[in-house]
Structure 1
Amino acid sequence: MTIERFIQLWTHRYHKYTHIATAHLKGRQARAHFQGVKRGLKKGQELIAIIRTEHFGDIVAAEPISRYVRQQHPDAHIVWFAKPGFAELVSHNPNVDEVFREICVTERRVLLEGKVFDKVFELQFRNNNHCPKCQVFTENPVALERDINVFNYFDYGNLLEVFAQTGGLIPPKTAFPADDQPRLYLQPSHQAKVDGLDLPGKYIVMHCRSNYEPKDWPADRWNQLVHWLAEKYDYQLVEIGLESNLNVKTPAYRNLCGQLSILETAEVIRRASFFIGLDSGPSHLGNATGTFGIILMGALNNFLNYNPYSGKYGRQENALLVRKAGLPCAQLPFEFVQEQVRSVLEKSADNARTVLS
């Protein structure tokens, strides 16, 4: 073994075992905290955990569960487990009493081993229960019993229905029994931030790059679409997301990628005339904020014709799911997408003319 390899090995081990030790410590501290919370509850008042730690589109899709659990347990102290980067999505939810900002599954395992919670609704399965630093997976017993996993989960319904089933809240392969429209709880600070962006009164917001390549549409076709929209219509075009891969030269386009928090992005989407994007987190923000969505989708892995959305996007009352049977999103022809977008925008223009007349 070379000295460089020796240093690399022990540096890796140092970081790994330091992380594990920190996770165990924080897990015990969290256990002590919630034991204190429980001692402060009234007699008969339950302490309930809802676990949906990632990704942000999934947390938005799962929001109706917070209302459903609150309805079923009106007096409970409800704690939502989320990774720190996604905590803002639930921190203002009036149906959630507390957010537990989980750093890894080892921390959660140590916490839950204390049996401090009266009920635990785990809304995820093995692939979301993994810490790469600890190199640890944890299993969801309900998901195991019902055989719900990353290879078949869309066979059980939309994301909300899948999460409710993995949490044991509803029977297998059943519809969600309550209001299934996701909501967001935007605050004045989010509105103030977007006020400061000086956005036009009439714009289309676009999300052109997901965190999972099989869901993406090629950048050159997005470039075509942006230039066509800029030439054909009088909307400004605002791109949101983490990072843009477009090469756009038109004054009608503005890039806000990487400049906003999740809920600030939601406020930008809420004010838009339309949302055009992919099956990814921002499309769930569009569903929750009520902005009409044009969603580019396709066959995904072994799911040939899936629908991740509940509420108005899921029923296509406030969205158009753009896809061709059997084709992945990357293979959707530009002309096909162009025609689908045109149909929505021109129908909107016709409706506006009818109202004015």
Structure 2
Amino acid sequence: MTLKSFIALWTHRYHKYTHISKAHFLGYRAWLHFKGVKSKLKTDQKLIAIIRTEHFGDIVAAEPISRYVRSLHPNAHIVWFVKPSFSELVSHNPSLDEVFKEFCVTERKTLLDTGIFDEVIQLQFTNNNHCPKCQVFVDNPVADRRNINIFNYFNFGNLLEVFAQTGDLIPEKAAFPGDDRPKLYLQDKHRQKVDSLNLKEPFIVLHCQSNYAPKDWPAEKWEQLVEWLADNYPYKIVEIGLKSNLSVKTGSYRNLCGQFTILETAEVIRRASYFIGLDSGPSHLGNATGTFGIILMGSLNDFPEYNPYSGGYGRQENAVFVRQKGLPCSQLSFEFVKDKVAGVIKLS
């Protein structure tokens, strides 16, 4: 072993074990906090944990569960576990008493192993309960018993129904028993930020890149779509997301990528006449805000046809799915997508 590789190895080990030590410390510190919370509860009040830490579209899709659990346990102290970067999605939810911003799954495992919670509702399964630094996976016995995992989960329903099953809230492959329309809790600060943009003309929001390449549509086709929309409709075209990969010259197009928090982005979508995007986090924002969605979807891994949405998008009351059975999204032709979009906008 060379000196350089030796140093690299021990640097990696130092960071790994420092991370693990911090996770255990934070877990026990959280235990002391929740022990204090529990000491103030009445004997008929439960301390309940709901765990859905990522991704932000999944958290939005799972939001109805917070209201359903509250209906089952009106007096409980309900805590939602989430990664800090997604905490704004649940921090204003009136059905929750507390938001726990999770450092990593080792911290969570340390905390839950103390048994401080009376009930733990896991809306995740083993394969997406993972800390890459600790190399720790957390099992969900309910999901394991029902054989729900990342390879087959869409065989069990939409995301809300899948999460309700992994949380042992509903029987296998059952419909969600409560209001299945996801909600967002937008605040004045989100509205004020979007007010500053002066988006006064009618506009269409586009979201052109997901966090998973097989769900994407090529950039050159998006560029064609923008030009076609600008030439044929009196709408401004606004792109949202983390970053843009488009090269567009029309004056009707505005790039707002990377400028907003998740809920500020939701407020932009809420004000749009239409949302055109992929099966990704922002499409769940569109579903929750009530903006009509035109969703480009294709076959995904082992799912030739699938529906991740509940509510208006899920029932296609407020959305159109643009897809051809057996084709991935990347292979949808521009003409096919254009015709579907024209069919929707023409009816307005």
| TM-score computed with the length of structure 2 as normaliser | 0.99
Distance 1:22 1:258 in 2: 31
Question: What SS class does the counterpart of residue 238 from structure 1 fall into?
Answer: strand
Q: How does 1:252-271 map to 2 (within 5 A)?
A: 252-271=252-271
2:248 corresponding residue in structure 1: 248
Q: How does 1:228-247 map to 2 (within 5 A)?
A: 228-247=228-247
2:347 corresponding residue in structure 1: 347
Distance 1:294 1:147 in 2: 32
Higher mean C-alpha deviation, range 161-170 or range 42-51 = 42-51
User: Aligned letter for 2:96?
Assistant: V
2:155 corresponding residue in structure 1: 155
Deviation at 1:3, TM superposition (A): 1.3
Distance 1:303 1:238 in 2: 31
Deviation at 1:38, TM superposition (A): 0.3
CA contact (8 A) 1:125 1:143 kept: yes
1:221 corresponding residue in structure 2: 221
Deviation at 1:197, TM superposition (A): 1.1
1:95 corresponding residue in structure 2: 95
Higher mean C-alpha deviation, range 159-168 or range 6-15 = 6-15
Q: Deviations over 1:31-80 (max 9, x none)?
A: 11001000011221110000000000000000000000000000000000
Distance 2:237 2:127 in 1: 36
1:336 corresponding residue in structure 2: 336
Structure 2 gaps of 5+ residues are: none
CA contact (8 A) 1:125 1:149 kept: yes
CA RMSD in angstroms, aligned pairs only: 0.6
2:295 corresponding residue in structure 1: 295
Question: What SS class does the counterpart of residue 295 from structure 1 fall into?
Answer: strand
Q: Deviations over 1:279-298 (max 9, x none)?
A: 00000000000000000000
Structure 1 gaps of 5+ residues are: 349-357
| TM-score computed with the length of structure 1 as normaliser | 0.97
Instruction: Find out whether 1:86 has 2:83 as its counterpart.
Output: no
Distance 1:329 1:200 in 2: 32
Q: How does 1:23-34 map to 2 (within 5 A)?
A: 23-34=23-34
Q: 4+ residue runs of structure 1 moved beyond 2 angstroms? A: none
User: Aligned letter for 1:318?
Assistant: N
1:351 corresponding residue in structure 2: none
Question: What SS class does the counterpart of residue 325 from structure 1 fall into?
Answer: coil
User: Aligned letter for 1:61?
Assistant: A
CA contact (8 A) 1:126 1:139 kept: yes
Deviation at 1:127, TM superposition (A): 2.1
CA contact (8 A) 2:57 2:281 kept: yes
1:47 corresponding residue in structure 2: 47
Deviation at 1:201, TM superposition (A): 2.8
Distance 1:264 1:229 in 2: 25
User: Aligned letter for 1:152?
Assistant: N
CA contact (8 A) 1:142 1:166 kept: yes
Question: What SS class does the counterpart of residue 14 from structure 1 fall into?
Answer: helix
Distance 1:46 1:138 in 2: 23
Q: How does 1:282-321 map to 2 (within 5 A)?
A: 282-321=282-321
Q: How does 1:80-229 map to 2 (within 5 A)?
A: 80-229=80-229
Q: Deviations over 1:303-323 (max 9, x none)?
A: 000000000000000000100
CA contact (8 A) 1:79 1:100 kept: yes
CA contact (8 A) 2:128 2:150 kept: no
Deviation at 1:2, TM superposition (A): 1.1
Deviation at 1:103, TM superposition (A): 1.3
Percent identity over the alignment is 71
Deviation at 1:141, TM superposition (A): 0.3
CA contact (8 A) 1:214 1:328 kept: yes
Distance 1:307 1:200 in 2: 33
